[in-house]
Amino acid sequence: MPITEILARNAQLYGPEICLTEINLDLQEKHNVIWKEYELIENNPAGEYRREMSWRVFDEKANRLANLLIKRGIKKGDKVAILLMNCLEWLPVYFGILKAGAVAVPLNFRYTAEEIRYCLNLSDTVALVFGPEFIGRLETIYDQIIPKVKMLFFAGEGRPSFAESYDRLTANCSSEAPDVKLTDDDDAAVYFSSGTTGFPKAILHTHRSLMSACITEQKHHGQTREDNFLCIPPLYHTGAKMHWFGSFLVGGKAVLLRGIKPEWILKTVSEEKITIVWLLVPWAQDILDAIERGDVKLEDYQLSQWRLMHIGAQPVPPSLIRRWKQYFPDHLYDTNYGLSESCGPGCVHLGVENIHKVGAIGVPGYGWEAKIVKENGDPVAPGEVGELVVKGPGMMKCYYKDPEATAAVLKDGWLYTGDMARLDEDGFIYLVDRKKDVIITGGENIYPVQIEDFLRSHDAIKDAAVIGLPDKRVGEIAAAIIELKPGYQCTEEDIESFCMSLPRYKRPRKIIFDKVPRNPTGKIEKPRLREKYGVVDIVAIETES
C-alpha cells in the first residue's frame, strides 16, 4: 500500500484531531513571550512560537500542493526537492509531492550552495520548495540550476524575486486528492548519503520501502494513538522521519521541536505530555551534563508519562546509557541501527527487553535478516569481526544513476553496509566500526569505536573521536581528539594514564584536545578531522615489542 493512503485514512478517521505541533522556544525566549501552557496568544507580536495542524488540514495541504504540481506539468516520477528547516510545512510538502506521483528529494539544510547545486543536478530535480534560510545560497547558483529546475516555490515571508509563492499558489488549488494511481513499486523518494567520503550519493526508495519503515518502527516500539512523539532531528534525514512513521501509522501525535537545548527538550516533554523521544548521543549527553551541573532540575518537570528514550544514527557508549538509567530508571530504552540505504532505522535493533545487552546494536529488526561476512561473503564465526550485511523490505532500489556503486553494495539480494561487526554467543550484533575507518598499525587492526567508547567513560570527557594518522614506522597510529566537559581540566598525561588499562596496541599515540565535529544526524565527521590533522608531522612514539 502506498504510504499516501495512510495520510488519507488518518484524515478520514481523525480529521479534527491535532497531529503535528511545531514549537520554537528560541523565538519565545528572544521576544520574552509569556508562556501560558503553550496557549498561542492571538496577535502575538512575537510571532507564532507554537503552531498546530490537524490530520484534515495536513491532508488538505498535501492535496493542494499535489494539484499545483500536476497543474504545472509535473508527471509521475518527476523529482521535486525540499529545502526547508524543520517546520510545520515540511511534512505536508513531502506528502504533497508523493500524492502527485512525483519523487520527493529532501535536501540537507546544511548543504553549501555548491552541494545544493550538485544534489539538484544528480537527482534530476525539476521543482524545488525552499524556505527563507536558503535565499542567499540559491541566489549564488540560480543561473546554474535554471532551466533544468523549472519551478522554485518559496515557503515563508520575504519572497525573493526569482521564486513563486508556495502559500499563495497552493491556497488557490483544490484540497481534494488528485487522481493519481500509485503502487508499492513506484519510486517515492531520493535520500542523500551523509557524504562523509565526498559528495553524497542519491539513494532511491519506493513506496514499499517507506511503508516497511512504518511497520517496522511500530512493531519495535508499540506506538499507539495515545503516544506523542518528540521529533528533534532534521526531517530531511531518514532517521527522524522514519521513527515518526511508527506514530503516523497508528494516527499518533508528534511535536517538532526547533532547538536542542536540554531545558527546551525537558520543557517540551513536560508541557506537551511527550511519551517517546528519539535522541542523538550528543543531545543525551547534554541533558545528563545539564542535570549534573544543576542547570536543570528534574523535579521542575512533569516527566512521568515519558515511557521510551531511544537512540540511533551512531554507536552508543554503554556508559552513557548507564548514566541515563541513573536519572531515568523507569524509561524503556532501545538502540536502533539503520542506514539511508535501508530506509532509516530498524534493520537491526536492540529491543526494549534487551537492555542487559547495552553495547550491542541488537538483533535483526522486524522483517529483516542480518549476517556478518568475510571479504569473500562467507559467514564469520561468532566473535570474529566481519562486514554486516542485511536483507529486508526497506532496502533501497539503487543509487540513482550510479550502477557501479549500486553493484558494490547490493549483492545477491543483500545490502553490504560497510560497517564492521561481530556476533556474540547469544546472537547479538556488536558494531565495531566503519570498514573505511579501521586503523592498521603494525599489522594490527584497531577499531576506533572501541577506543572512543572507553574514552567517553572518563568523567572529564564529553566526546571523543579516534582517527588514524600516517606513521613511517607502523603505517598508522591512533590519534584521539578529545572534547572535555565544560569546566573540566585534563592533560595528555591524565589521558595516557587512563588508557593504561587498554591493550598496548589500542592506546592512542597522540592526544589532541579539540571539539569533536558531528553532522546533523550525530555522526562524527572524521574526514574533517583527517583533513585538519592528517598533514601534521607526527613523530611516532616508540612501542615495546
**Measuring CA to CA, which residue among 441, 445, 424, 442 is closest to residue 433?**
445
Measured between alpha carbons, how far is 370 from 389 in angstroms, rounded to an integer? 6
Average pLDDT of the segment spanning 451-459: 89
Q: CB under 8 Å to 384, separation ≥6 — which residues? A: 372, 422
Q: What pLDDT is stored for residue 237 in this prediction?
A: 86
Q: Does residue 307 carry a pLDDT above 50?
A: yes
> Is the N-terminal amide bond of 329 cis, ω within 30° of 0?
no
pLDDT top residue among 24 and 104 = 104
User: Which CA distances in Å does 330 have to 220, 280, 509?
Assistant: 18, 20, 41
Type and span of the H or E element at 284: helix 281-293
pLDDT attached to residue 542: 28
Is residue 283 within 8 Å of residue 32, measured between CB atoms?
Answer: no
Contacts of 11 (CB under 8 A, 6+ apart): 55, 56, 58, 59, 60
Query: What value does the mean pLDDT take over residues 319-329?
Result: 92
Q: Which range (198-202, 224-228, 285-289) has the least confidence?
A: 198-202
Helix and strand numbers, DSSP H then E, in the chain:
16, 27
Long-range CB pairs of 301-304, under 8 A, 24+ apart, other chains included = 301/266, 301/267, 301/269, 301/270, 302/270, 302/271, 302/273, 303/266, 303/269, 303/270, 303/328
Q: Could you tell me what percent of the chain has a pLDDT over 70?
A: 90
- Overall average pLDDT of the 312-340 stretch: 87
Can you give the pLDDT at residue 197? 47
Q: Has residue 195 got a pLDDT over 60?
A: no
CA dist 36 to 33, 50, 255, Å? 9, 11, 18
**What is the pLDDT, as a whole number, of residue 418?**
86
**Which residues lie below 8 Å from residue 222, measured CB to CB, with a gap of 6+?**
none
Instruction: Look at 61-65, 105-109, 232-236, 529-533 and tell me which has the smallest mean pLDDT.
Output: 529-533
What pLDDT is attached to residue 316?
77
Residue 245: pLDDT over 90: yes
Q: 180 and 66 in contact (C-beta within 8 Å)?
A: yes
**161: Cβ contacts below 8 Å, ≥ 6 apart:** none
pLDDT digits (tens, 9 = 90+) for 213-241: 999 999 999 999 999 999 998 899 887 78
* Angle, CA of 224, 225 and 228, to the nearest 5°: 90
Query: Region 421-430: what's the mean pLDDT?
Result: 93
522: left (phi over 0), alpha (psi -120 to 50) or beta: left
Collect all residues with Cβ–Cβ distance below 8 Å to 268 and sequence separation of at least 6.
23, 25, 230, 255, 257, 274
- Nearest residue to 364 via CA among 417, 403, 297: 417
Task: Please compute, for residue 338, the number of CA atoms within 13 A of its CA located in the half-sphere on the CB side.
Answer: 32
> What local confidence, expressed as pLDDT, does residue 524 receive?
83
Is there a contact between 482 and 513 (Cβ–Cβ < 8 Å)? yes
Asked if pLDDT for residue 38 goes beyond 50, the answer is: no
Ordered alpha helix ranges (H), 387-447 = 403-409
Query: Domains in the chain and their CATH numbers?
Result: 4-259 (3.40.50.12780), 308-434 (2.30.38.10), 438-533 (3.30.300.30)
Instruction: Dump pLDDT digits (tens) for 69-86.
Output: 999 999 999 999 999 999
Task: Decide: helix, strand or coil at residue 279.
Answer: strand
Rounded Cα distance between 82 and 128, Å, is 6
What is the per-residue pLDDT for 239? Answer: 79
Give pLDDT, residue 315: 67
What secondary structure does DSSP assign to 184-213, as a single string? TTSEEEEEE---TTSSPPEEEEEHHHHHHH
Q: What percent of the chain has pLDDT over 90?
A: 69
The whole-number pLDDT of residue 537 equals 35
Check residue 534 and give its pLDDT.
65
- If we measure between CA atoms, which residue out of 534, 520, 216 comes closest to residue 347? 216
Q: What pLDDT shows up at residue 170?
A: 97
Q: How confident is the model at residue 142 (pLDDT cuts 50, 70, 90)?
A: very high
* 392 touches 349 (CB < 8 A): no
Q: Of 92-106, 421-435, 512-526, where does the model show the most confidence?
A: 92-106
Residue 57: what pLDDT?
98
- CB neighbours of residue 435 within 10 Å: 14
Whole-number pLDDT of residue 530: 80
All three cell numbers of 227, joined, read: 503516544
Lowest mean pLDDT among 34-43, 258-267, 485-494: 34-43
Q: Is the pLDDT of residue 196 over 50?
A: no
The number of residues in the chain equals 545
Question: Residue 24 corresponds to which cell in the numbers above?
Answer: 520554537
Buried b (16+ CB within 10 A) or exposed e, 64-85: bbbbbbbeeebeeebbbbbbbb
Please tell me the predicted confidence (pLDDT) of residue 35: 41
- For residues 129 and 170, the answer to whether their CB atoms sit within 8 Å is no
Residue with the larger pLDDT of the pair 238 and 445: 238
Task: Tell me the sheet residues that pair with 411.
Answer: 414
pLDDT above 70 for 545 = no
Indicate if the pLDDT at residue 366 is higher than 80.
yes
> Which of 253-267, 275-289, 315-329, 440-454 bottoms out in mean pLDDT, i.e. has the lowest?
440-454
- Phi then psi for residue 236, to 5 deg, are -70, -15
Beta bridge partner(s), residue 484: 461
The mean pLDDT of 452-480, rounded to a whole number, is 85
Among 339, 514, 538, CA closest to 434: 339
- Type of residue found at 216: T
Burial environment of residue 466 by CB neighbours within 10 A (0 to 12, 13 to 18, 19 or more):
buried
pLDDT score of 483 more than 60? yes
pLDDT digits (tens, 9 = 90+) for 371-389: 999 988 899 998 998 999 9
| pLDDT band at residue 443 under the 50/70/90 scheme | low
- pLDDT above 50 for 437: yes
> C-alpha 167: how far from its chain's center?
28
pLDDT in tens, 124-135: 999 999 999 999
Q: Residue 37 pLDDT more than 60?
A: no
